[in-house]
């Protein structure tokens, strides 16, 4: 058995993080930007959580995206921090809903409106392909599904890609009638 040497932590020794070693480019494999649930815990939240509590929790955790689950831990929606904005909450209050009665389920993007990329397809793509897809669809986030095993395998975030590439990445949401109507009635 060996005895190892112990050293002092000197002023010239600097703390590093994974990003310091990241040489990700647009040509890197697409799977390198997937938050894969086989390797990391999904960032989840109950649909029954009060919206104001969810906002506080997400801000404290520095989390911008949560997968919303029901009592059976099945995905029912996605919640982005922007969906908890004061403007969104005020729309519900204007309809007569008490602020404390607004739940995550009331403001999340429901499962039916979530876009997904296939894990099998991502195995043969690079990050540029993913960025192009996100930009052309106007999606900030996509879940990744394994179409063979029917599992929600992960999530891809445009913000995470931008951080990894150390670039500004603009994803313009395609206006729909609902977005136009919401902005006119706000």
- CATH number for position 73: 3.10.580.10
Q: Phi-psi bin for 166: left (phi > 0), alpha (psi -120 to 50), beta?
A: left
Q: How many domains does the chain have?
A: 1
Q: Which residues pair with 176 in a beta bridge?
A: none
Q: What is the pLDDT of residue 73?
A: 95
3-state secondary structure of 75: strand
> Nearest 5°: CA angle at 86, between 156 and 98?
115
Is 17 a domain residue? no
Low-confidence spans in the chain with pLDDT less than 70? 173-186
Contact yes or no for 140/82 (Cβ under 8 A)? no
pLDDT for 118 equals 97
Residue 28 phi/psi, 5° resolution?
-70, 155
Q: Is residue 156 part of a domain?
A: yes
Residue 62 lies in a domain: yes
Judge whether 13 lies within some domain: no
Give a yes or no: residue 2 inside a domain. Answer: no
Q: Is 50 within 8 Å of 100 (Cβ atoms)?
A: yes
- 6-33 residue pLDDT tens: 889 999 988 887 777 778 999 999 999 9
Q: Give the pLDDT of residue 147.
A: 95
């Amino acid at each position: 058995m060996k005895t190892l040497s112990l050293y002092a932590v000197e002023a010239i020794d600097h703390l590093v993080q994974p990003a310091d070693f990241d040489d990700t480019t647009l040509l890197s494999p697409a799977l390198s930007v997937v938050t894969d649930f086989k390797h990391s815990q999904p960032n989840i939240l109950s649909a029954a959580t009060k919206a104001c509590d969810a906002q506080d929790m997400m801000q404290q955790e520095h989390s911008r995206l949560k997968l919303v689950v029901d009592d059976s831990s099945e995905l029912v929606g996605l919640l982005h921090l922007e969906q908890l904005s004061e403007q969104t909450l005020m729309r519900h209050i204007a309809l007569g809903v008490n602020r404390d009665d607004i739940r995550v389920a009331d403001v999340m993007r429901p499962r039916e409106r979530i876009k997904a990329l296939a894990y099998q397809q991502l195995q043969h793509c690079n990050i540029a392909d993913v960025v192009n897809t996100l930009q052309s669809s106007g999606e900030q986030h996509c879940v990744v599904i394994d179409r063979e095993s029917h599992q929600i395998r992960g999530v891809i975030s445009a913000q995470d890609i931008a951080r990894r590439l150390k670039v500004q990445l603009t994803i313009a949401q395609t206006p729909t009638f609902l977005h136009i109507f919401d902005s006119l009635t706000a």
